[in-house]
């Protein structure tokens, strides 16, 4: 591996992003004595290519704050893939229902088809916002993952706990050059799945994670 890992084993550079990354200068500053070493953006050109620039947060003041450090985000292509696949599914459902009515004269398929269509449509509408809420941060000893706007979830996974890293990409994903990276620990509830990384970023991230996990290997 020739590239330099994003998280520094060495002295971390100053966090220039810290001031504007902090959403609201609330009491969070006092309640967070931890200063995680922020990542160095200049070391990781691949990870931030074609991604969103800023994490979308809920509006409420009681939200889980972003904190320090650089958040890496999903590639914009992820939304395109999602819109295409969900849109295709929507059209398929409507086509089947319409076909059943035209050729067999059945009315009732519109009920399940309508329900499916509404669910898919809602998904289609929130997908672009949701995609911008995903973020991951490589700190010195652990990976922090966040997702969700209405239901927020933040997870910290120590590198040494990783059992394996999984990369999957379907045909449509390959067409747009994105991949899904899944981090597996011994606990099923960890559930860290980063869905829309560019393929280069996913592979680099995988290699980096494996390399770091190897140096910090722990038991189960």
Partner 1 sequence: MTDAIPESAGAAGRITTRSPMSDGEWHRLHPLTPLLRGGLFLLVMIGILIANLRERLFELFFPVFTDLPPGVMPPDPVDFLFSNNLFLIAAGAVVVVLVILLGAFRLSWRFHTLRIGDDVEVRSGVLFRTHRRAPLDRVQGVNLTRPMVARLLGLAKLEVVGAGLDANVRLEYLSAKDADALRGDILRLASGRRLAEAGPGAAVGGSFVRATAEAVGSGIQGLVEGEDFSDAEPESIVRIPLGRLVASRILSGSMVWLLVLVAAIVVAASISTVWLLFTVVPTFLAYGAYYVRSIARGLRYSIAPTADGVRLTFGLFTTISEVVPPGRVHAVEVRQPLLWRPFGWWSISVNRLSGRSSTDSSTDQLAAVLPVGTRDDVERVLRILAPGLPPDGWADVVRDGLLGPVADDPYVTTPGRARILRPLSWRRNGVLLTADALFLRRGWIWRSLSIFPLARLQSIGLHQGPLARAMRTARLAAHVISGTVQTSVAVLDRDAALTVMEETARATVAAAAEDRTHRWAG
Task: Give 143's Cβ-side CA count (13 Å radius).
Answer: 29
Q: In this chain, which stretch among 94-102, 111-119, 120-128, 184-192 interacts with partner 1, using CB under 8 A?
A: 184-192
CB of 34 to partner 1, least distance (A): 4
For the record, the structure tokens of 32 come out as: 């967070």
Residue from 1, 19, 102, 188 binding partner 1 (CB under 8 A): 188
d(CA 208, CA 6): 8
- Sequential DSSP letters for 48-98: TTTB-SS----SSTTSPP--SSPPB--BTHHHHHHHHHHHHHHHHHHHHHH
For the record, the structure tokens of 136 come out as: 């991951």
Residue 71's Cα: distance from chain center in Å?
10
Q: In this chain, which stretch among 17-25, 74-82, 120-128, 152-160 interacts with partner 1, using CB under 8 A?
A: 152-160
Site string for partner 1, 29-68 (x = CB under 8 A): -xxxxx-x---------------------x-xxxxxx-x-
CB of 20 to partner 1, least distance (A): 20
d(CA 44, CA 51): 13
Q: In this chain, which stretch among 17-25, 110-118, 149-157, 172-180 interacts with partner 1, using CB under 8 A?
A: 149-157
Binding site for partner 1 (CB under 8 A): 26-28, 30-34, 36, 58, 60-65, 67, 141-142, 150-158, 160-161, 185-190, 192, 216, 218-220
């Amino acid at each position: 591996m020739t590239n330099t890992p994003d998280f520094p084993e060495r002295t971390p550079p100053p966090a220039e992003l810290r001031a504007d990354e902090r959403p609201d200068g609330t009491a969070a500053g006092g309640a967070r004595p931890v200063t995680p070493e922020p990542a160095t953006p200049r070391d990781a050109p691949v990870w931030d290519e074609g991604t969103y620039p800023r994490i979308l947060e809920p509006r409420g003041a009681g939200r889980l704050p972003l904190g320090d450090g650089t958040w890496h985000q999903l590639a914009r292509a992820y939304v395109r893939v999602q819109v295409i696949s969900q849109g295709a599914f929507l059209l398929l459902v409507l086509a089947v229902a319409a076909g059943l009515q035209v050729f067999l004269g059945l009315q009732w398929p519109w009920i399940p088809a309508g329900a499916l269509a509404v669910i898919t449509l809602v998904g289609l509408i929130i997908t672009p916002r949701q995609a911008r809420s995903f973020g991951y941060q490589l700190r010195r000893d652990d990976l922090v993952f966040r997702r969700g706007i209405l239901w927020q979830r933040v997870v910290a996974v120590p590198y040494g706990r990783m059992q394996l890293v999984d990369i999957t990409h379907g045909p449509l994903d390959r067409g747009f050059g994105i991949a899904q990276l899944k981090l597996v620990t011994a606990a099923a509830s960890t559930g860290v799945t980063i869905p829309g990384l560019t393929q280069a970023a996913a592979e680099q991230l995988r290699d980096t994670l494996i390399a770091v996990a190897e140096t910090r290997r722990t038991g189960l």
